[in-house]
Structure 1
Protein backbone atom coordinates (compact mmCIF):
# COMPACT_ATOMS: atom_id res chain seq x y z
CA UNK A 1 0.00 0.00 0.00
CA UNK A 2 3.03 2.29 0.23
CA UNK A 3 3.55 4.81 -2.57
CA UNK A 4 6.90 6.15 -3.69
CA UNK A 5 8.10 8.24 -0.74
CA UNK A 6 8.23 12.00 -1.11
CA UNK A 7 8.78 14.17 1.95
CA UNK A 8 5.91 16.42 3.11
CA UNK A 9 5.99 20.05 1.96
CA UNK A 10 4.95 22.96 4.11
CA UNK A 11 3.78 23.19 7.70
CA UNK A 12 0.34 21.60 7.22
CA UNK A 13 1.61 18.55 5.32
CA UNK A 14 4.35 18.10 7.96
CA UNK A 15 1.85 18.22 10.84
CA UNK A 16 -0.44 15.77 9.06
CA UNK A 17 2.42 13.37 8.32
CA UNK A 18 3.53 13.41 11.97
CA UNK A 19 -0.03 12.73 13.18
CA UNK A 20 -0.56 9.90 10.68
CA UNK A 21 2.73 8.30 11.69
CA UNK A 22 1.84 8.62 15.38
CA UNK A 23 -1.66 7.14 15.00
CA UNK A 24 -0.68 4.40 12.53
CA UNK A 25 2.55 3.40 14.27
CA UNK A 26 4.79 4.22 11.28
CA UNK A 27 8.27 5.69 11.17
CA UNK A 28 7.48 8.09 8.35
CA UNK A 29 4.62 9.10 6.05
CA UNK A 30 5.04 10.67 2.61
CA UNK A 31 2.90 13.29 0.90
CA UNK A 32 1.50 10.74 -1.59
CA UNK A 33 0.48 8.18 1.05
CA UNK A 34 -3.18 7.14 1.43
CA UNK A 35 -4.59 7.17 5.00
CA UNK A 36 -6.79 4.08 4.64
CA UNK A 37 -4.28 2.08 2.57
CA UNK A 38 -1.80 2.57 5.42
CA UNK A 39 -4.23 0.90 7.84
CA UNK A 40 -6.38 3.85 8.88
CA UNK A 41 -10.01 3.23 9.79
CA UNK A 42 -12.96 5.29 11.03
CA UNK A 43 -12.04 5.20 14.74
CA UNK A 44 -8.47 6.31 14.00
CA UNK A 45 -9.92 8.93 11.67
CA UNK A 46 -11.99 10.46 14.49
CA UNK A 47 -8.87 10.55 16.69
CA UNK A 48 -7.01 12.24 13.84
CA UNK A 49 -9.67 14.96 13.58
CA UNK A 50 -9.51 15.65 17.30
CA UNK A 51 -5.70 15.78 17.42
CA UNK A 52 -5.59 18.03 14.35
CA UNK A 53 -8.02 20.45 15.98
CA UNK A 54 -6.00 20.53 19.22
CA UNK A 55 -2.56 20.90 17.64
CA UNK A 56 -3.19 23.05 14.57
CA UNK A 57 -6.62 24.58 15.24
CA UNK A 58 -7.81 23.15 11.92
CA UNK A 59 -11.31 21.77 11.48
CA UNK A 60 -11.65 18.60 9.40
CA UNK A 61 -14.81 16.58 8.79
CA UNK A 62 -14.76 12.84 8.39
CA UNK A 63 -16.42 13.24 5.00
CA UNK A 64 -13.49 15.35 3.79
CA UNK A 65 -10.98 12.73 4.94
CA UNK A 66 -12.87 10.01 3.04
CA UNK A 67 -13.05 12.23 -0.04
CA UNK A 68 -9.35 13.23 0.09
CA UNK A 69 -7.42 10.43 1.83
CA UNK A 70 -4.08 11.24 0.15
CA UNK A 71 -1.98 13.43 2.44
CA UNK A 72 -1.07 16.17 -0.06
CA UNK A 73 -4.66 16.47 -1.33
CA UNK A 74 -6.01 16.64 2.22
CA UNK A 75 -3.52 19.32 3.24
CA UNK A 76 -4.47 21.44 0.22
CA UNK A 77 -8.15 21.24 1.23
CA UNK A 78 -7.43 21.96 4.88
CA UNK A 79 -5.81 25.25 4.03
CA UNK A 80 -9.31 26.58 3.33
CA UNK A 81 -10.96 25.15 6.49
CA UNK A 82 -9.94 26.92 9.66
CA UNK A 83 -11.50 26.21 13.05
CA UNK A 84 -14.05 28.75 14.28
CA UNK A 85 -12.29 31.14 16.66
CA UNK A 86 -13.70 30.76 20.18
CA UNK A 87 -14.11 34.19 21.80
CA UNK A 88 -12.59 34.60 25.26
CA UNK A 89 -14.71 34.36 28.40
CA UNK A 90 -14.77 37.94 29.71
CA UNK A 91 -16.33 37.04 33.08
CA UNK A 92 -13.63 36.68 35.74
CA UNK A 93 -13.62 35.92 39.45
CA UNK A 94 -13.06 39.65 40.02
CA UNK A 95 -15.93 40.92 37.85
CA UNK A 96 -18.19 43.36 39.68
CA UNK A 97 -20.88 43.30 36.98
CA UNK A 98 -21.90 41.36 33.85
CA UNK A 99 -22.91 43.46 30.84
CA UNK A 100 -24.20 42.48 27.36
CA UNK A 101 -20.79 43.14 25.81
CA UNK A 102 -19.24 40.49 28.08
CA UNK A 103 -21.37 37.68 26.58
CA UNK A 104 -20.14 36.97 23.01
CA UNK A 105 -22.04 33.66 22.77
CA UNK A 106 -25.53 34.97 23.62
CA UNK A 107 -27.41 38.22 23.02
CA UNK A 108 -29.08 39.39 26.24
CA UNK A 109 -30.24 42.80 27.47
CA UNK A 110 -29.08 44.11 30.84
CA UNK A 111 -32.43 43.37 32.56
CA UNK A 112 -32.27 39.81 31.20
CA UNK A 113 -28.72 39.37 32.52
CA UNK A 114 -29.81 40.64 35.93
CA UNK A 115 -32.66 38.11 35.90
CA UNK A 116 -30.20 35.30 35.14
CA UNK A 117 -27.78 36.39 37.89
CA UNK A 118 -30.63 36.36 40.42
CA UNK A 119 -31.21 32.62 39.78
CA UNK A 120 -27.72 31.54 40.90
CA UNK A 121 -26.96 30.95 44.61
CA UNK A 122 -24.18 33.35 45.53
CA UNK A 123 -25.12 35.62 42.63
CA UNK A 124 -22.45 37.21 40.46
CA UNK A 125 -19.56 35.79 42.48
CA UNK A 126 -20.68 32.23 41.64
CA UNK A 127 -21.09 32.76 37.88
CA UNK A 128 -18.26 31.57 35.64
CA UNK A 129 -19.92 31.90 32.23
CA UNK A 130 -23.22 32.46 30.41
CA UNK A 131 -23.92 31.33 26.85
CA UNK A 132 -26.58 30.00 24.48
CA UNK A 133 -27.74 26.40 24.18
CA UNK A 134 -26.56 24.09 21.43
CA UNK A 135 -29.27 23.16 18.89
CA UNK A 136 -29.51 19.68 20.44
CA UNK A 137 -29.97 21.17 23.92
CA UNK A 138 -32.72 23.46 22.61
CA UNK A 139 -34.61 20.40 21.35
CA UNK A 140 -34.23 18.60 24.69
CA UNK A 141 -35.43 21.67 26.62
CA UNK A 142 -38.44 21.95 24.28
CA UNK A 143 -39.54 18.39 25.13
CA UNK A 144 -38.89 18.98 28.85
CA UNK A 145 -41.27 21.97 28.75
CA UNK A 146 -43.79 20.10 26.61
CA UNK A 147 -44.11 17.23 29.08
CA UNK A 148 -46.87 17.85 31.63
CA UNK A 149 -45.68 15.04 33.91
CA UNK A 150 -42.29 13.42 34.31
CA UNK A 151 -39.36 14.10 31.98
CA UNK A 152 -38.53 12.15 28.81
CA UNK A 153 -34.87 13.13 29.12
CA UNK A 154 -34.11 12.15 32.73
CA UNK A 155 -31.55 9.31 32.66
CA UNK A 156 -31.34 6.76 35.49
CA UNK A 157 -28.42 4.63 36.68
CA UNK A 158 -28.31 2.17 39.59
CA UNK A 159 -25.30 1.14 41.65
CA UNK A 160 -24.66 -0.88 44.79
CA UNK A 161 -21.86 -0.50 47.36
CA UNK A 162 -20.58 -3.02 49.90
CA UNK A 163 -20.58 -0.41 52.68
CA UNK A 164 -21.32 3.19 53.59
CA UNK A 165 -17.64 4.21 53.60
CA UNK A 166 -17.17 3.17 49.98
CA UNK A 167 -20.37 5.00 49.02
CA UNK A 168 -19.12 8.22 50.65
CA UNK A 169 -15.75 7.91 48.90
CA UNK A 170 -17.53 7.44 45.57
CA UNK A 171 -19.73 10.54 46.07
CA UNK A 172 -16.65 12.61 47.04
CA UNK A 173 -14.92 11.47 43.84
CA UNK A 174 -17.98 12.43 41.75
CA UNK A 175 -17.88 15.89 43.35
CA UNK A 176 -14.27 16.28 42.24
CA UNK A 177 -15.26 15.37 38.67
CA UNK A 178 -18.12 17.89 38.82
CA UNK A 179 -15.60 20.52 39.98
CA UNK A 180 -13.49 19.80 36.87
CA UNK A 181 -16.14 20.07 34.12
CA UNK A 182 -18.14 23.18 33.20
CA UNK A 183 -21.12 21.26 31.80
CA UNK A 184 -21.54 19.42 35.12
CA UNK A 185 -21.82 22.78 36.92
CA UNK A 186 -24.37 24.21 34.48
CA UNK A 187 -27.96 25.32 35.10
CA UNK A 188 -30.58 26.49 32.58
CA UNK A 189 -32.72 29.64 32.63
CA UNK A 190 -35.46 30.57 30.17
CA UNK A 191 -38.32 32.29 31.99
CA UNK A 192 -38.55 35.99 31.14
CA UNK A 193 -35.71 35.75 28.56
CA UNK A 194 -35.74 36.28 24.79
CA UNK A 195 -33.87 32.97 24.40
CA UNK A 196 -32.84 30.26 26.90
CA UNK A 197 -29.34 30.35 28.38
CA UNK A 198 -27.05 28.04 30.27
CA UNK A 199 -25.11 29.32 33.25
CA UNK A 200 -21.85 27.79 34.47
CA UNK A 201 -21.54 27.98 38.26
CA UNK A 202 -18.12 28.27 39.87
CA UNK A 203 -19.23 25.95 42.66
CA UNK A 204 -22.06 23.42 42.53
CA UNK A 205 -22.54 20.88 45.30
CA UNK A 206 -24.06 17.47 44.66
CA UNK A 207 -27.54 16.92 46.02
CA UNK A 208 -27.82 13.58 47.85
CA UNK A 209 -31.07 12.38 49.44
CA UNK A 210 -31.24 9.37 51.76
CA UNK A 211 -34.48 7.36 51.94
CA UNK A 212 -35.65 4.37 53.98
CA UNK A 213 -36.88 1.18 52.35
CA UNK A 214 -39.22 -1.47 53.74
CA UNK A 215 -38.31 -5.10 53.14
CA UNK A 216 -42.02 -5.92 52.84
CA UNK A 217 -42.35 -3.71 49.76
CA UNK A 218 -40.29 -5.98 47.51
CA UNK A 219 -36.73 -5.88 46.13
CA UNK A 220 -34.92 -2.72 47.24
CA UNK A 221 -33.75 -1.64 43.79
CA UNK A 222 -37.30 -1.95 42.44
CA UNK A 223 -38.61 0.22 45.27
CA UNK A 224 -36.11 2.95 44.37
CA UNK A 225 -37.01 2.67 40.70
CA UNK A 226 -40.71 3.03 41.42
CA UNK A 227 -40.30 6.02 43.75
CA UNK A 228 -38.06 7.92 41.35
CA UNK A 229 -39.46 6.84 37.99
CA UNK A 230 -38.67 9.54 35.33
CA UNK A 231 -42.22 9.16 34.01
CA UNK A 232 -43.39 10.91 37.18
CA UNK A 233 -40.22 12.69 38.38
CA UNK A 234 -38.68 15.97 37.29
CA UNK A 235 -35.62 17.79 38.54
CA UNK A 236 -35.14 21.55 38.74
CA UNK A 237 -33.10 22.56 35.68
CA UNK A 238 -32.26 25.84 37.39
CA UNK A 239 -30.06 24.20 40.04
CA UNK A 240 -26.66 22.79 39.12
CA UNK A 241 -25.46 20.13 38.89
CA UNK A 242 -28.26 18.43 36.96
CA UNK A 243 -27.32 15.19 38.68
CA UNK A 244 -29.26 13.98 41.73
CA UNK A 245 -28.37 11.02 43.94
CA UNK A 246 -30.69 8.94 46.10
CA UNK A 247 -29.15 6.55 48.64
CA UNK A 248 -30.74 3.81 50.72
CA UNK A 249 -29.57 0.94 52.91
CA UNK A 250 -30.72 -2.36 51.45
CA UNK A 251 -33.01 -4.05 54.02
CA UNK A 252 -31.56 -7.29 55.32
CA UNK A 253 -28.00 -6.60 54.19
CA UNK A 254 -25.14 -4.19 54.79
CA UNK A 255 -25.17 -2.95 51.19
CA UNK A 256 -26.01 0.59 50.15
CA UNK A 257 -27.90 1.34 46.96
CA UNK A 258 -27.38 4.46 44.89
CA UNK A 259 -29.74 5.82 42.23
CA UNK A 260 -28.35 8.49 39.91
CA UNK A 261 -30.70 10.82 38.04
CA UNK A 262 -28.89 12.77 35.33
CA UNK A 263 -30.51 15.11 32.83
CA UNK A 264 -29.77 14.59 29.14
CA UNK A 265 -29.15 18.36 28.80
CA UNK A 266 -25.73 17.86 30.39
CA UNK A 267 -24.83 14.32 29.47
CA UNK A 268 -25.37 11.12 27.54
CA UNK A 269 -23.93 7.60 27.50
CA UNK A 270 -20.50 8.85 26.45
CA UNK A 271 -20.54 11.51 29.19
CA UNK A 272 -21.29 8.83 31.78
CA UNK A 273 -18.39 6.69 30.55
CA UNK A 274 -16.00 9.64 30.84
CA UNK A 275 -17.35 10.58 34.29
CA UNK A 276 -16.97 7.09 35.70
CA UNK A 277 -13.50 6.65 34.21
CA UNK A 278 -12.45 9.87 35.96
CA UNK A 279 -14.13 8.76 39.21
CA UNK A 280 -12.09 5.55 39.10
CA UNK A 281 -8.91 7.60 38.59
CA UNK A 282 -9.76 9.79 41.59
CA UNK A 283 -10.49 6.76 43.78
CA UNK A 284 -7.18 5.20 42.69
CA UNK A 285 -5.25 8.35 43.63
CA UNK A 286 -4.48 9.23 40.00
CA UNK A 287 -6.49 12.43 39.67
CA UNK A 288 -3.31 14.34 38.81
CA UNK A 289 -2.99 12.26 35.61
CA UNK A 290 -6.33 13.42 34.18
CA UNK A 291 -6.16 15.65 31.09
CA UNK A 292 -7.20 19.29 31.27
CA UNK A 293 -10.95 19.38 30.52
CA UNK A 294 -12.16 21.25 27.43
CA UNK A 295 -14.60 24.12 28.10
CA UNK A 296 -18.12 23.35 26.85
CA UNK A 297 -18.24 26.91 25.48
CA UNK A 298 -15.93 25.70 22.69
CA UNK A 299 -18.70 23.44 21.38
CA UNK A 300 -21.24 26.27 21.65
CA UNK A 301 -18.93 28.54 19.64
CA UNK A 302 -18.59 25.89 16.92
CA UNK A 303 -22.36 25.43 16.78
CA UNK A 304 -23.27 29.13 16.89
CA UNK A 305 -20.47 30.93 15.07
CA UNK A 306 -19.84 28.50 12.21
CA UNK A 307 -22.91 28.35 9.98
CA UNK A 308 -25.59 30.97 10.72
CA UNK A 309 -29.13 30.03 11.70
CA UNK A 310 -30.49 31.50 8.47
CA UNK A 311 -28.31 29.14 6.43
CA UNK A 312 -29.63 26.17 8.42
CA UNK A 313 -33.22 27.32 7.87
CA UNK A 314 -32.61 27.80 4.14
CA UNK A 315 -31.13 24.31 3.84
CA UNK A 316 -34.20 22.67 5.40
CA UNK A 317 -36.65 24.87 3.49
CA UNK A 318 -35.08 23.64 0.24
CA UNK A 319 -34.77 20.05 1.43
CA UNK A 320 -38.41 19.85 2.58
CA UNK A 321 -39.98 22.24 0.05
CA UNK A 322 -41.97 19.51 -1.72
CA UNK A 323 -43.24 17.82 1.47
CA UNK A 324 -46.92 18.75 1.83
CA UNK A 325 -47.88 16.80 4.97
CA UNK A 326 -46.51 14.92 7.97
CA UNK A 327 -45.41 11.29 7.78
CA UNK A 328 -47.93 9.37 9.91
CA UNK A 329 -47.46 5.58 10.11
CA UNK A 330 -50.84 3.81 10.01
CA UNK A 331 -52.54 7.23 9.96
CA UNK A 332 -51.98 7.74 13.70
CA UNK A 333 -51.84 11.50 14.23
CA UNK A 334 -52.85 11.95 17.88
CA UNK A 335 -50.73 9.58 19.92
CA UNK A 336 -49.87 10.80 23.39
CA UNK A 337 -48.71 9.26 26.62
CA UNK A 338 -45.61 8.32 28.59
CA UNK A 339 -44.80 5.15 26.68
CA UNK A 340 -45.90 2.85 29.51
CA UNK A 341 -48.50 1.18 27.26
CA UNK A 342 -46.01 0.13 24.60
CA UNK A 343 -44.41 -3.28 24.17
CA UNK A 344 -40.96 -3.86 22.74
CA UNK A 345 -39.60 -6.93 20.99
CA UNK A 346 -35.92 -7.51 20.34
CA UNK A 347 -34.46 -9.97 17.90
CA UNK A 348 -30.82 -10.78 17.27
CA UNK A 349 -29.74 -10.73 13.63
CA UNK A 350 -28.43 -14.06 12.37
CA UNK A 351 -24.69 -13.88 11.79
CA UNK A 352 -25.13 -14.55 8.06
CA UNK A 353 -27.52 -11.58 7.68
CA UNK A 354 -25.20 -9.37 9.74
CA UNK A 355 -22.31 -10.30 7.44
CA UNK A 356 -24.41 -9.64 4.30
CA UNK A 357 -25.46 -6.21 5.57
CA UNK A 358 -21.86 -5.20 6.31
CA UNK A 359 -20.71 -6.53 2.95
CA UNK A 360 -23.43 -4.55 1.18
CA UNK A 361 -22.51 -1.35 3.10
CA UNK A 362 -18.85 -1.75 2.09
CA UNK A 363 -19.83 -2.37 -1.53
CA UNK A 364 -21.89 0.83 -1.60
CA UNK A 365 -19.27 2.84 0.27
CA UNK A 366 -21.69 3.85 3.06
CA UNK A 367 -21.93 3.18 6.77
CA UNK A 368 -24.07 0.34 8.11
CA UNK A 369 -26.09 3.02 9.95
CA UNK A 370 -26.96 4.65 6.61
CA UNK A 371 -28.16 1.31 5.25
CA UNK A 372 -30.34 0.79 8.35
CA UNK A 373 -31.76 4.32 7.97
CA UNK A 374 -32.75 3.45 4.40
CA UNK A 375 -34.43 0.24 5.58
CA UNK A 376 -36.32 2.18 8.24
CA UNK A 377 -37.40 4.73 5.64
CA UNK A 378 -38.85 1.88 3.58
CA UNK A 379 -40.80 0.62 6.62
CA UNK A 380 -42.15 4.13 7.31
CA UNK A 381 -43.06 4.61 3.64
CA UNK A 382 -44.99 1.31 3.49
CA UNK A 383 -46.83 1.94 6.77
CA UNK A 384 -47.72 5.56 5.96
CA UNK A 385 -48.59 5.12 2.30
CA UNK A 386 -46.23 7.95 1.29
CA UNK A 387 -43.38 7.71 -1.16
CA UNK A 388 -41.54 10.65 0.43
CA UNK A 389 -41.05 10.28 4.17
CA UNK A 390 -39.51 12.50 6.82
CA UNK A 391 -38.11 11.15 10.10
CA UNK A 392 -35.45 12.21 12.56
CA UNK A 393 -32.22 10.71 13.81
CA UNK A 394 -30.06 11.59 16.79
CA UNK A 395 -26.62 12.98 15.94
CA UNK A 396 -24.38 15.20 18.06
CA UNK A 397 -21.77 16.14 15.46
CA UNK A 398 -19.17 13.74 16.86
CA UNK A 399 -17.97 13.00 13.31
CA UNK A 400 -16.25 16.38 13.42
CA UNK A 401 -13.98 14.92 16.09
CA UNK A 402 -14.20 17.86 18.49
Structure 2
Protein backbone atom coordinates (compact mmCIF):
# COMPACT_ATOMS: atom_id res chain seq x y z
CA UNK A 1 0.00 0.00 0.00
CA UNK A 2 2.20 2.85 -1.26
CA UNK A 3 0.11 5.57 0.38
CA UNK A 4 0.31 4.06 3.87
CA UNK A 5 2.76 5.41 6.48
CA UNK A 6 3.48 3.09 9.43
CA UNK A 7 5.01 3.96 12.80
CA UNK A 8 6.66 1.24 14.92
CA UNK A 9 7.35 1.91 18.59
CA UNK A 10 7.06 0.60 22.13
CA UNK A 11 9.71 -2.10 21.71
CA UNK A 12 12.89 -2.61 19.71
CA UNK A 13 12.15 -3.14 16.01
CA UNK A 14 13.88 -6.33 14.76
CA UNK A 15 15.48 -6.12 11.33
CA UNK A 16 13.37 -8.93 9.79
CA UNK A 17 10.15 -7.27 10.97
CA UNK A 18 11.29 -3.90 9.60
CA UNK A 19 11.94 -5.54 6.23
CA UNK A 20 8.54 -7.25 6.26
CA UNK A 21 6.66 -4.08 7.21
CA UNK A 22 8.65 -1.95 4.79
CA UNK A 23 7.61 -4.19 1.91
CA UNK A 24 3.89 -3.60 2.44
CA UNK A 25 3.73 0.12 3.29
CA UNK A 26 4.82 3.29 1.53
CA UNK A 27 7.05 4.51 4.38
CA UNK A 28 8.05 3.01 7.72
CA UNK A 29 9.34 4.97 10.71
CA UNK A 30 10.85 3.59 13.89
CA UNK A 31 9.94 5.91 16.78
CA UNK A 32 11.50 5.82 20.23
CA UNK A 33 10.83 7.54 23.51
CA UNK A 34 9.70 6.88 27.09
CA UNK A 35 6.58 8.26 28.74
CA UNK A 36 8.77 10.58 30.82
CA UNK A 37 9.71 12.54 27.69
CA UNK A 38 6.20 12.59 26.17
CA UNK A 39 6.54 9.26 24.35
CA UNK A 40 8.33 10.10 21.09
CA UNK A 41 11.82 11.58 21.26
CA UNK A 42 13.72 10.16 18.28
CA UNK A 43 12.78 8.93 14.82
CA UNK A 44 14.39 6.82 12.10
CA UNK A 45 13.33 5.62 8.66
CA UNK A 46 14.92 2.16 8.26
CA UNK A 47 16.65 1.37 4.98
CA UNK A 48 16.57 -2.17 3.52
CA UNK A 49 19.68 -4.15 4.34
CA UNK A 50 20.90 -1.77 7.05
CA UNK A 51 20.72 -2.21 10.85
CA UNK A 52 17.64 -0.62 12.40
CA UNK A 53 18.43 2.41 14.56
CA UNK A 54 16.31 4.76 16.66
CA UNK A 55 17.49 7.64 14.52
CA UNK A 56 17.97 11.24 15.57
CA UNK A 57 16.20 13.51 18.08
CA UNK A 58 12.95 15.18 17.08
CA UNK A 59 12.61 18.96 17.08
CA UNK A 60 12.95 20.57 20.54
CA UNK A 61 14.61 17.38 21.86
CA UNK A 62 18.22 16.96 22.98
CA UNK A 63 19.85 13.52 23.14
CA UNK A 64 23.05 12.87 25.08
CA UNK A 65 25.08 9.64 25.29
CA UNK A 66 26.80 9.77 28.68
CA UNK A 67 29.00 7.57 30.84
CA UNK A 68 28.39 6.63 34.47
CA UNK A 69 29.93 9.92 35.61
CA UNK A 70 27.71 12.05 33.38
CA UNK A 71 30.38 12.80 30.79
CA UNK A 72 29.91 12.51 27.00
CA UNK A 73 30.86 9.17 25.45
CA UNK A 74 32.83 9.13 22.16
CA UNK A 75 30.90 8.18 19.04
CA UNK A 76 30.70 4.43 18.54
CA UNK A 77 30.92 3.52 22.23
CA UNK A 78 27.86 2.61 24.34
CA UNK A 79 26.54 4.95 26.99
CA UNK A 80 23.29 5.77 28.74
CA UNK A 81 20.85 7.84 26.71
CA UNK A 82 19.74 11.04 28.45
CA UNK A 83 16.95 13.11 26.92
CA UNK A 84 16.39 16.82 27.36
CA UNK A 85 14.13 19.38 25.78
CA UNK A 86 10.54 20.55 25.76
CA UNK A 87 9.05 17.08 26.23
CA UNK A 88 10.71 16.24 29.55
CA UNK A 89 8.15 15.74 32.34
CA UNK A 90 8.34 17.50 35.71
CA UNK A 91 8.79 14.18 37.52
CA UNK A 92 6.82 11.44 39.25
CA UNK A 93 3.87 12.60 41.29
CA UNK A 94 4.36 11.92 44.99
CA UNK A 95 7.76 10.24 44.45
CA UNK A 96 10.45 12.89 45.05
CA UNK A 97 13.24 10.36 45.56
CA UNK A 98 12.65 8.61 42.25
CA UNK A 99 12.25 11.96 40.53
CA UNK A 100 15.63 13.11 41.86
CA UNK A 101 17.32 9.94 40.58
CA UNK A 102 15.80 9.97 37.11
CA UNK A 103 15.42 13.68 36.32
CA UNK A 104 18.81 15.34 36.65
CA UNK A 105 20.18 18.81 35.77
CA UNK A 106 20.96 19.33 32.09
CA UNK A 107 24.31 21.17 31.95
CA UNK A 108 24.02 21.65 28.18
CA UNK A 109 20.48 23.02 28.16
CA UNK A 110 19.01 26.38 29.16
CA UNK A 111 19.48 27.44 32.81
CA UNK A 112 17.35 25.36 35.15
CA UNK A 113 16.55 22.66 32.58
CA UNK A 114 16.66 18.96 33.35
CA UNK A 115 17.18 15.76 31.40
CA UNK A 116 15.77 12.28 31.86
CA UNK A 117 17.96 9.23 32.41
CA UNK A 118 16.35 6.57 30.22
CA UNK A 119 18.34 3.57 31.46
CA UNK A 120 18.79 2.60 27.80
CA UNK A 121 22.21 1.95 26.33
CA UNK A 122 22.86 3.46 22.91
CA UNK A 123 25.81 4.36 20.72
CA UNK A 124 26.01 7.35 18.41
CA UNK A 125 27.00 6.45 14.87
CA UNK A 126 29.29 8.68 12.76
CA UNK A 127 26.28 10.13 10.92
CA UNK A 128 24.57 11.12 14.18
CA UNK A 129 22.00 8.34 14.34
CA UNK A 130 21.50 6.52 17.63
CA UNK A 131 21.71 2.73 17.80
CA UNK A 132 19.93 0.93 20.64
CA UNK A 133 22.27 -1.43 22.52
CA UNK A 134 20.15 -2.76 25.39
CA UNK A 135 19.32 -1.83 28.97
CA UNK A 136 21.65 -0.81 31.78
CA UNK A 137 19.91 -3.22 34.13
CA UNK A 138 20.99 -6.20 31.98
CA UNK A 139 24.69 -5.69 32.67
CA UNK A 140 26.52 -8.74 34.03
CA UNK A 141 30.11 -9.48 34.98
CA UNK A 142 31.78 -12.56 33.49
CA UNK A 143 35.40 -13.48 34.27
CA UNK A 144 36.19 -9.90 35.19
CA UNK A 145 34.53 -8.32 32.14
CA UNK A 146 31.37 -6.22 32.26
CA UNK A 147 29.01 -7.37 29.52
CA UNK A 148 25.76 -5.85 28.30
CA UNK A 149 23.33 -8.70 27.63
CA UNK A 150 21.03 -6.32 25.78
CA UNK A 151 23.83 -5.41 23.38
CA UNK A 152 24.33 -9.07 22.48
CA UNK A 153 20.57 -9.53 22.11
CA UNK A 154 20.36 -6.52 19.81
CA UNK A 155 23.15 -7.91 17.61
CA UNK A 156 21.62 -11.39 17.44
CA UNK A 157 18.21 -9.88 16.60
CA UNK A 158 19.77 -8.44 13.42
CA UNK A 159 20.15 -11.99 12.07
CA UNK A 160 17.45 -12.50 9.41
CA UNK A 161 16.53 -15.88 10.88
CA UNK A 162 15.88 -14.56 14.40
CA UNK A 163 12.53 -13.11 15.46
CA UNK A 164 13.28 -12.75 19.17
CA UNK A 165 16.16 -13.67 21.44
CA UNK A 166 17.04 -13.62 25.13
CA UNK A 167 20.60 -13.87 26.46
CA UNK A 168 21.24 -14.90 30.06
CA UNK A 169 24.20 -15.62 32.31
CA UNK A 170 24.29 -19.35 33.04
CA UNK A 171 25.96 -20.07 36.41
CA UNK A 172 27.44 -23.27 34.97
CA UNK A 173 25.80 -25.57 37.47
CA UNK A 174 23.42 -28.48 37.15
CA UNK A 175 22.10 -30.24 34.06
CA UNK A 176 23.22 -28.74 30.77
CA UNK A 177 26.18 -26.88 32.25
CA UNK A 178 29.31 -26.41 30.20
CA UNK A 179 32.13 -28.92 30.42
CA UNK A 180 34.27 -26.54 32.46
CA UNK A 181 31.51 -25.91 34.99
CA UNK A 182 32.16 -22.18 34.68
CA UNK A 183 29.72 -19.35 34.09
CA UNK A 184 28.83 -18.76 30.45
CA UNK A 185 26.47 -16.73 28.29
CA UNK A 186 23.56 -18.62 26.75
CA UNK A 187 21.26 -17.32 24.00
CA UNK A 188 17.70 -18.54 23.48
CA UNK A 189 16.61 -17.50 19.97
CA UNK A 190 13.19 -17.86 18.34
CA UNK A 191 13.22 -18.44 14.60
CA UNK A 192 11.68 -15.95 12.20
CA UNK A 193 8.20 -16.82 10.83
CA UNK A 194 8.35 -19.09 7.80
CA UNK A 195 11.87 -20.28 8.54
CA UNK A 196 13.41 -23.09 10.60
CA UNK A 197 12.97 -23.19 14.36
CA UNK A 198 16.10 -21.08 14.88
CA UNK A 199 19.52 -20.61 13.24
CA UNK A 200 22.24 -23.05 14.24
CA UNK A 201 24.59 -22.06 17.05
CA UNK A 202 27.60 -21.89 14.72
CA UNK A 203 25.66 -19.60 12.39
CA UNK A 204 24.84 -17.23 15.27
CA UNK A 205 28.44 -17.27 16.51
CA UNK A 206 29.64 -16.33 13.03
CA UNK A 207 27.06 -13.53 12.91
CA UNK A 208 28.32 -12.11 16.22
CA UNK A 209 31.92 -12.28 15.04
CA UNK A 210 31.32 -10.13 11.95
- Give the TM-score taking structure 2 as reference length: 0.25
Flag the structure with higher strand content: 2
Of structures 1 and 2, the one scoring higher in RCO (CA 8 A, sep 6+) is 1
